[in-house]
Amino acid sequence: MEKWVKKYLVPLLLLGLIIALFVDFQTVETIDPQAGRYEPSVSEPQPVPQQPQQVGPRGESRLAVGERYTSLEELVADQKAAGYLRTGYFGKHWPATVTEIQVDDDGISFVRKNGPRHSYTGFDGYRMKVVHLSGPGEQETVVVFRSVDKR
């Protein structure tokens, strides 16, 4: 047994130690202590150009049963103008027509046309909205929104 240890184990351990030291010294980086100093800009700060927002004031929404939307982005922009943020999304069938609108407080529950019940809980203080839409071939799309601000 002693011959095996001297012949195989000791050289293997030495080789492992050499590799470990080699790898350790390869990852050392030198840090310049002056590079982290903050030097304020000499010139005056320039204003950042702001992009005008594309949405209208809150409260302006065309959402109604029978209303047609060409894309998810169009519906989300419309609801953003009304003070709602998208929280959930089922189906990708566009263009689509609104078939049902559900509104509730602090959470909301709904059933998809061919699926299980979905519940959005934990939204205490928020107004919730579910928009059911019918796309090409009567395929269902459901979008869930919550109000931007608490009541």
Asked if residue 35 belongs to a domain, the reply is no
With cut-offs at 50, 70 and 90, classify the pLDDT of residue 115. confident
Q: What is the mean pLDDT of residues 14-42?
A: 65
Asked if residue 59 belongs to a domain, the reply is no
Asked if residue 142 belongs to a domain, the reply is yes
Is residue 130 a contact partner of residue 144, using CB atoms and an 8 Å limit?
yes
Asked if residue 60 belongs to a domain, the reply is no
10: containing domain:
1-28
Residue 74 is predicted with a pLDDT of 94
Asked if residue 51 belongs to a domain, the reply is no
pLDDT exceeding 70 applies to what percent of the chain?
A: 75
Residue 73 is predicted with a pLDDT of 94
131: exposed, middle or buried (C-beta count within 10 Å: 0-12, 13-18, 19+)?
A: buried
Question: In the chain, how many domains are there?
Answer: 2
Asked if residue 73 belongs to a domain, the reply is yes
Put simply, whether the predicted model's pTM sits higher than 0.75 gets the answer no
Asked if residue 45 belongs to a domain, the reply is no
With cut-offs at 50, 70 and 90, classify the pLDDT of residue 22. confident
Asked if residue 52 belongs to a domain, the reply is no
